[in-house]
């Protein structure tokens, strides 16, 4: 990808962090990411959507981590009739994986804590019984509403609210906290993704993420599960957030993650947390942690924003 902007501070930080893997990582993130889509089973079956694409002689390939996920060999999938009609959503394949890891069922009431623009909300709607989609930002909330309407997400209740201001007695079976981050993973999509990036931004986001994770966990039912994910590569926004969280909520465990057909890497900084490296799977960079809530026998400290 031509003329991608990389701050010197970013290059210095991640070349040191990645060591001998830096050259391959850097080469990969300067290339365009491949196209992929999720089949919206609210408006189509998997077979019907695929048959529609076949009739147009469009090549696609199943991504093994979920039956509704596919790569597509088509330059502008957003112009396809199947997309305009809401049969498929265009979504980067690593971005699909947090919902797949959460693995909600039709019996689950799910909180999508930072929902806009709504691609993961589509996934949750397809797989869950009911979804509460929270989004604080006004402009992003309007985008979320349009997504809900176009993709026929009838089991989704959306509200413009900071999820931390929900009633304290509200509880969910599962929660997705795909948190707002420094967006380092968008490099392959937007050449200007790092224009506003700085180490101070990373630290600010990490501060917010720590408190958001604790508060989200408190809305989870005992025995429930949640996923924390970012498209940042920063340890400050990932492993350090999880490790902080574990000091605040002793009734939480980090669960192992498996994704069929995907190379994932665990690391010594955070047991069972995984990283998706761009060079391993030709994806965005992504961090995913799956958290289980156990019944607590001792009071947990209050978390203030």
Tens of pLDDT, residues 116-128? 999 999 999 999 9
Average pLDDT rounded to a whole number, residues 244-268 = 93
Contact between 217 and 226 (Cβ < 8 Å):
yes
What local confidence, expressed as pLDDT, does residue 170 receive?
A: 87
Give CA–CA dist 146/151, Å, rounded: 8
**Rounded average pLDDT over 16-43:** 95
- Of 114, 181, 231, 273, catalytic: 231
CATH number of the domain encompassing residue 25:
3.40.50.150
Q: What is the pLDDT of residues 195-253, one digit of tens each?
A: 999 999 999 999 999 999 999 999 999 999 999 999 999 999 999 999 999 999 999 99
The whole-number pLDDT of residue 2 equals 56
On whether residue 299 sits in a domain, the answer given is no
pLDDT of residue 57: 95
Q: What is the pLDDT of residues 31-78, one digit of tens each?
A: 999 999 999 999 999 999 999 999 999 999 999 999 999 999 999 999
In a domain, 301, yes or no: no
Q: What is the pLDDT of residue 135?
A: 97
From 47, 44, 41, 39, select the one nearest 77 (Cα to Cα): 39
Mean pLDDT score of the chain: 94
114 occurs within a structural domain: yes
Please report whether residue 236 resides in a domain.
yes
In this structure, is residue 20 part of a structural domain? yes
| Annotation says 270 is catalytic | no
The domain of 125 spans 8-33+92-293
As to burial, measured by CB atoms within 10 angstroms (0-12 exposed, 13-18 middle, 19+ buried), residue 21 is middle
Quote the pLDDT of residue 305: 59
Q: Is residue 184 part of a domain?
A: yes
Identify the band that residue 303 occupies on the pLDDT scale cut at 50, 70 and 90. Answer: confident
Is the pLDDT reported for residue 90 higher than 80?
yes
Nearest by Cα to 191 from 32, 8, 299: 32
pTM score of the predicted model: 0.95
Directed axis angle between helix 119-127 and helix 93-102, to 10°?
A: 40
Evaluate whether residue 288 is within a structural domain: yes
Give the pLDDT mean for 246-265: 95
- 288 has pLDDT over 80: yes
| Cα 11 to Cα 119: distance, rounded to the nearest angstrom | 30
**Section 265-270 average pLDDT:** 84
Q: Is residue 260 part of a domain?
A: yes
* Total domains present in the chain: 1
- The confidence score (pLDDT) of residue 260 equals 96
Residue 1: per-residue pLDDT: 43
Tens-place pLDDT, residues 133-160:
999 999 999 999 999 999 999 999 999 9
């Amino acid at each position: 990808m031509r003329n991608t902007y990389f701050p010197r501070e970013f290059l210095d930080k991640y070349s040191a962090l990645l060591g001998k893997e830096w050259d391959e990582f850097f080469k990969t993130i300067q290339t365009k990411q491949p196209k992929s889509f999720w089949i919206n089973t609210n408006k189509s079956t998997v077979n019907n959507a695929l048959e529609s694409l076949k009739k147009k002689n469009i090549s696609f390939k199943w991504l093994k981590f979920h039956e509704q996920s596919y790569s597509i060999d088509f330059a502008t999938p957003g112009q396809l009739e199947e997309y305009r009609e809401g049969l498929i959503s265009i979504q980067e394949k690593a971005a699909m994986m947090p919902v797949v890891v959460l693995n909600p069922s039709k019996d689950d009431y799910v909180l999508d804590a930072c929902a806009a623009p709504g691609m993961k909300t589509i996934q949750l709607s397809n797989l869950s019984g009911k979804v509460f989609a929270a989004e604080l930002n006004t402009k992003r909330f309007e985008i979320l509403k349009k997504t809900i309407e176009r993709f026929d997400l009838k089991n989704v209740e959306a509200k413009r609210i900071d999820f931390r201001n929900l009633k304290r007695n509200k509880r969910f079976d599962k929660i997705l906290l795909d948190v707002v981050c420094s967006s380092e993973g968008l490099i392959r999509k937007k050449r200007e993704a790092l224009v506003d990036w700085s180490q101070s931004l990373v630290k600010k986001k990490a501060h917010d993420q720590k408190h958001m994770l604790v508060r989200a966990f408190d809305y989870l039912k005992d025995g429930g599960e949640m996923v924390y994910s970012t498209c940042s590569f920063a340890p400050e926004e990932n492993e350090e957030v999880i490790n902080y969280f574990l000091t605040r909520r002793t009734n939480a465990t980090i669960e192992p993650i498996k994704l069929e057909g995907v190379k994932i890497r665990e690391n010594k900084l955070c047991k069972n947390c995984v990283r998706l490296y761009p060079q391993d799977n030709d994806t965005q960079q992504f961090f995913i942690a799956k958290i289980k809530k156990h019944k607590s026998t001792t009071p947990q400290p209050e978390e203030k924003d």
